[in-house]
Structure formats: structure tokens, C-alpha cells
Amino acid sequence: MLKIAVLVSGDGSNLQAIIDSIENGYLNCSIEAVISDNIKSFALQRATKKGIPIYVFPKKEFGESIGDEILKVVKGNVDILVLAGFLSLLKGEILKKFEGKIINIHPSLIPLFCGKGMYGEKVHESVLKSGVKITGCTVHFVDEKVDGGAIILQKAVPVYFEDDVKTLKERVLEEEHKILPEALKLLSENKIFIKDGKVQIV
């Protein structure tokens, strides 16, 4: 069984999608820890409700060393780290120790609307401002480049003239909640390989 830790900063709807996918038998995974950089993250309540151990390393207190603290929690206990709306950057040793074993969900079609400072609702604001008619979401591996690792899965979502941030965010989240569990399922079945910086699904 794949052992995962889920890193969160906010509402935790993607964490909930993983929990639900485990409970309905779609995913053969166990969540060993939910880790947050934000004590106010509602995701922590979702985890506690299910008896999942939680760890909090507030961003203000830990800053760039957050990766080292997380590494202490997960080293030897966890196969995959899942960034599900986690808004701190991971740096240093953790990226080496978990190379090819950290995935992230991003609310746009990478390489569009991503990179430093582009997260959460800011992404949808930029999408709406640009006038594009299609956006989406991406699950990708995490490396030292912000939103730069190999792309695992993407799903396109239409953008309507009438959309505001709330309606667009909801439509994109609906697809995020499908592709994040799907990527984890593929990983748990050893169906994902990285070749020349690109993902092959077998």
C-alpha cells in the first residue's frame, strides 16, 4: 500500500478528495500525515476528523527551513508527498531525498498561469483577465523549479464570459478532485515513468 503525506495550507478540498477516494476503495493508499504551514487551515480539521496525525509548521516561524522540518516527519515513513494547495516552497535536502516522489496540483494548464507568486485565486484572476477560453488543472512532479517538474496529468476546463473567480475556481476544483486521486492511483500501480523530463504512463 502506498503511504503518503499530504501538505496543505488552506481549505483542503483536495485532501478531502483523496480521503474520499481511499474510503470508496478507488485508492489503495494510507495517509500517514497531514502537514500544514498554516494553523488556520481547514484541512487540519478534515484530517483530525478522520484520525490522521497532523503537524503544523507555521510559515512565519519556519520560513525556508520548513522542508527540513517536514523531512524529519516523513523520512522513512512515507513513499509519496502530495502538495494539495500547499503554498510554501520546498527547498534543500527534502527535494533530493524525495526526488520523483513529490507531486503537486496546480489550478491551471502548466506552463500557462504558473510560477512564482501564481497560486490559488491569483491564477483564476489572471486567467479571467487574459480572456483565454480554456484553462484547467495539472498534476506534476515537484523539483527545484516553481511549477517546473514533469507533467503527470492535465484536464482542460472551459472559461465562460460570465465567470468570476468563484465560479471558475469551483469548475476547476471539480476536475482537480478527479486528477489528483487518478495520479496517485497511477503511482500506486507503478504506471508512471519519467523519461527525458517527460512522463510516460504505461
What residues make contact with ligand GAR under the rule CB under 6 A? 8, 10-14, 43, 84-85, 105-107, 119-120, 123, 173, 176
Least distance from ligand GAR to the Cβ atom of residue 75, Å: 24
- Grid coordinates of 71: 523531512
The active-site residue, picked from 106, 124, 140, 177, is: 106
* Active site annotation includes 177: no
Least distance from ligand GAR to the Cβ atom of residue 100, Å: 19
SS3 of 30, please? strand
Which residue(s) pair with 192 in the sheet? Answer: 201
Which CB sits closer to ligand GAR, 114 or 199? 114
Find, among 174, 171, 146, the residue nearest to 159 by Cα: 171
All residues at 6 or more sequence positions from 179 whose CB lies less than 8 Å from its CB, including other chains: 105, 137, 139, 153, 154, 155
Least distance from ligand GAR to the Cβ atom of residue 180, Å: 9
Least distance from ligand GAR to the Cβ atom of residue 76, Å: 27
Which CB sits closer to ligand GAR, 71 or 171? 171
Cα–Cα distance for residue pair 197/200, rounded to 1 Å: 10
- What is the DSSP-derived secondary structure letter of residue 90? P
Which CB sits closer to ligand GAR, 12 or 149? 12
Q: Are 70 and 90 in contact (CB under 8 A)?
A: yes
CB-count exposure of residue 197 (10 Å: 0-12, 13-18, 19+): exposed
Pairing of strands 80-83, 102-106: parallel
Which CB sits closer to ligand GAR, 88 or 188? 88
Which CB sits closer to ligand GAR, 41 or 188? 41
Q: Are 128 and 113 in contact (CB under 8 A)?
A: no
Please give the residue whose beta carbon sits closest to ligand GAR in the complex: 85
Least distance from ligand GAR to the Cβ atom of residue 195, Å: 25
Residues annotated as part of the active site: 106
